[in-house]
Amino acid sequence: MPETTRETVLRISGTNTRKCMLCGKCSGSCPAYDAMDYRPHQFVAMVERGEIAPLLQSKSLYACMSCFACVERCPRGVQPASLIEALRAMVLREREHTRLPAQLIPELIDAGTPQQAVVSAFRKLSK
Ligand code: SF4
Ligand code: SF4
């Protein structure tokens, strides 16, 4: 049976949204709260309900600063930041022209390119 979009988000993020008790601490500690249309606790709840399409269009994807305050504050070990990162990756992977085949990497880097940047780009831009 093919994976649902919700299952894909959960797999990429490694997050268990069922553990969320909607306490809101993640959103309360988020420095990007005012810039978000869906706040971190809403992200978690919407992924749990399988409401992925609006999240893929959300400006919250690009307002999140990946500071991981939401992860630190969560009393249940949920990782809202990882969900947001997973959705960002899914948006990038849907754009065919942003795919990065492994064989192109040597042409794009020089000796000064940090390996972390290469690995990060490869994770984001390849399936
Ligand atoms: S802090 Fe954790 S448990 Fe509370 S709403 Fe956010 S994700 Fe859910
Ligand atoms: S990682 Fe993103 S969602 Fe989480 S607190 Fe920081 S800015 Fe907010």
Residue 21 has pLDDT above 90, yes or no: yes
Which ligand has the nearest atom to the CA of 79?
A: 1
Confidence of residue 119 (pLDDT cuts 50, 70, 90): confident
Residue 118 has pLDDT above 90, yes or no: no
Measured by CA distance, the residue closest to atom 6 of ligand 1 is 26
Confidence of residue 77 (pLDDT cuts 50, 70, 90): very high
9 lines ligand 1 (CB under 6 A): no
Rg (CA), the chain: 16
The pLDDT of residue 37 is 96
Q: Which of 18, 19, 21, 47 to mutate to test the pocket of ligand 1 (most atoms within 8 A of CB)?
A: 21
CA 90 to chain centre: 8
